[in-house]
Amino acid sequence: MPAKTARIANIIIISTLSVASLYVAAPFLIPVVLAALLAMVLNRVSESLEKKGLNRALAALIPVLLVIGIIALLAVVLSWQLSRMTDDFDKMKEEVTAKVDTLREWVSETFGIPMEEQAKMLNGNEKETANQAGAMFFSFVNTLAGIAVDGVLIIVYTYLLIFYRSHLKKFILGIVPEGKRQNANNIVLKSVAVSGQYLIGLFKMVVVLWIMYSIGFSIVGLEGAILFAIVCGILEIVPFFGNFVGNLIAILGALAQGGDARMVFSIVLVYLTVQFLQTYILEPLVVGQQVNINPLFTIMGLVAGELLWGVAGMALAIPLIGIIKIICDNIPELQAYGALIGPVNTKKNTVSMLQSFKRRLQRK
């Protein structure tokens, strides 16, 4: 077998095994990767606390406790909003029932299926629906239990990664040939800095989105405006799709509350206004260009992340691709790939790709 063919075959085999390993090991890898990214965000806080004289253990614990406090505060606000909506649950149920009856009347008039026949069809599926509801309930409980376990693991992993960061860095540099350790050190520092800056910027933008959506939904008259605003903001961690899904949830909430077409149109108007401000003001000022990836690979990364790790994969795709780009940009043999992932039509990327291609030709 020619050497070039063997090399291509090895690349295909290694890539296939890597993808399969990522898929199979998802329950183990997702909490670890989330904790690693969170540790990159909190690393700066921990280092500043150490410089002020705190020991490593306490300096690693304080930022983790701060994150737990923020999550607890968010849970309290969500519980408060849910309790307020629960008071109007009976009214919402009546509104949903009325809309279902209207839909049944439309089906009867349009398709000629009498109301009595529809009732028989629905009653005939009651047993099956009850079984499905029971299965959904147990699935929901299992999901909540899994989230709770993963949450505890993420907190523990984050603390340990911050505490042992120097030890882990020495290990990474130790497995790299001595002549390339300086470059490896630069890659580690840039990866930590860029990921931390991106996630901090994303958190700031989510907070601003919470405020804008809360104001907009309150003006519209949507009950539980803060709850829906928080949902829309949190879903922003999934680019392109998250904000759309969040506002779709808000529209469904408005319809359940008896909202008319005017309220739905107003929610859509709030969504478009916030999206405009986010795209042209918030993202350039708050998030910036820390993770400089072109839209093609952004969407491909989101799709691949969802296929491998579900929603968590979509949330992790952008910072992970950003780290991959940093690695490619700092390794001469991979600079062409880094330029491919990055923005298009820039002189810097074109020059980088040409230089990398020229070096590879010279080696051959």
Cα angle: 92, vertex 95, 100; to 5 degrees:
125
Q: How far apart are CA 145 and CA 150, in angstroms?
A: 9
For residue 107, tell me if it sits in a domain: no
Is the alpha carbon torsion for 161, 162, 164, 170 positive or negative?
A: positive
Q: Do 84 and 157 share a domain, yes or no?
A: yes
> What does the pLDDT read at residue 174?
86
pLDDT band at 157 (very low <50, low <70, confident <90, very high): very high
- Are residues 36 and 145 both part of a single domain? yes
Let me know whether 80 and 139 are in one domain: yes
**Residue 282 and residue 310 share a domain:** no
Mean pLDDT, range 325-342, rounded to an integer: 84
> Per-residue pLDDT tens for 263-306?
888 888 998 898 888 877 777 666 655 567 787 888 888 888 88
pLDDT at 167 over 80: yes
* Domain termination site, one of 290, 314, 333: 290
Same domain for 347 and 334: yes
Share of the chain above pLDDT 90, in %: 11
pLDDT of residue 347: 47
What pLDDT does 349 receive?
47
Average pLDDT over residues 101-116: 67
Q: How far is CA 74 from CA 71, 140, 227, 242, in A?
A: 5, 21, 10, 19
Residue 64 confidence class, pLDDT cut points 50, 70, 90: very high
Average pLDDT over the chain reads 79
Q: Does position 133 have pLDDT exceeding 80, yes or no?
A: no
DSSP-derived secondary structure for 143-203: HHHHHHHHHHHHHHHHHHHHHTHHHHHHHHHHTS-GGGHHHHHHHHHHHHHHHHHHHHHHH
Q: Is residue 319 within 8 Å of residue 199, measured between CB atoms?
A: yes
Most confident residue range from 199-208, 291-300, 353-362: 199-208
**Cα(213)–Cα(273) distance, rounded to whole angstroms?**
10
Per the domain annotation, does 84 fall within a domain? Answer: yes
Residue 115: pLDDT over 80: no
Start-to-end CA distance of the chain, whole Å, equals 19
Residues 35 and 139 in one domain: yes
User: What is the pLDDT confidence band of residue 121, given thresholds at 50, 70 and 90?
Assistant: low
236 or 229: whose pLDDT is higher?
Answer: 229
Distance CA 86, CA 223 (A): 11
- Evaluate the CA torsion angle 271, 277, 282, 288 in order and state its sign: positive
Please report the pLDDT score of residue 315 as a whole number. 82
**pLDDT tens readout for residues 171-193:** 888 888 888 888 888 888 888 88
Per mean pLDDT, which range of 123-132, 244-253, 299-308 is the poorest?
123-132
Which region, left, alpha or beta, applies to residue 260 given φ > 0 means left and ψ of -120 to 50 means alpha? beta
pLDDT for res 245: 84
The DSSP annotation for 22-71 comes to HHHTHHHHHHHHHHHHHHHHHHHHHHHHHHTT--HHHHHHHHHHHHHHHH
Same domain, 342 and 249: no
Q: What is the pLDDT of residue 173?
A: 85
Which pLDDT band, with edges at 50, 70 and 90, does 342 fall under?
Answer: confident
User: Which run of H or E residues covers position 272?
Assistant: helix 261-277
**178 occurs within a structural domain:** no
Higher pLDDT, 126 or 121: 121
Considering the domain architecture, whether residues 159 and 145 belong to the same structural domain is answered as yes
358 part of a folded domain: yes
Residue 42 contacts residue 162 (beta carbons within 8 Å): yes
Mean pLDDT of 300-321: 86
Structurally, the chain folds into a number of domains equal to 3
CA–CA gap between residue 315 and residue 242 (Å, rounded)? 10
How far CA 290 is from CA of 56, 125, 209, 215, in Å, comes to: 28, 53, 20, 29
96: pLDDT strictly greater than 50: yes
pLDDT tens digits for range 6-58? 777 777 888 888 889 989 998 999 999 999 989 988 888 898 898 888 898 99
Is 4 a domain residue? Answer: no
Position 13 in a domain: no
Average the pLDDT over 128-154 and give the result.
71
Q: What is the pLDDT of residue 97?
A: 67
Give domain status of residue 259, yes or no.
yes
Rounded-to-integer distance, Cα 85 and Cα 224, Å? 6
Q: What is the predicted pLDDT for the residue at 155? A: 93
Out of 153, 168, 183, pick the residue that ends a domain: 168
Position 69 scores a pLDDT of 92
| 299 and 280 part of one domain | no
Residue range 156-178: mean pLDDT, rounded = 89
Do 119 and 249 lie in one domain? The reply is no
Residues 236 and 249 in one domain: yes
Residue 351: per-residue pLDDT: 47
Host domain of residue 229: 196-290
How far, in Å, CA of 1 to CA of 3, rounded?
6
Secondary structure of residue 349 in the 3-state scheme: helix
Q: Quick one: which H or E segment has residue 227?
A: helix 225-234
Q: DSSP letter at 240?
A: T
Residues 32 and 161 in one domain: yes
> Left, alpha or beta for 351 (phi > 0: left; psi -120 to 50: alpha)?
alpha
Q: What is the pLDDT of residue 350?
A: 45
Percent of the chain with pLDDT over 70: 75
Contacts with 200 (C-beta within 8 Å, 6 or more apart), sequence order: 41
Give the Cα-Cα-Cα angle 17, 292, 185 (nearest 5 degrees). 70
Position 238 scores a pLDDT of 75
Structural domain includes residue 191: no
pLDDT at 137 over 70: no
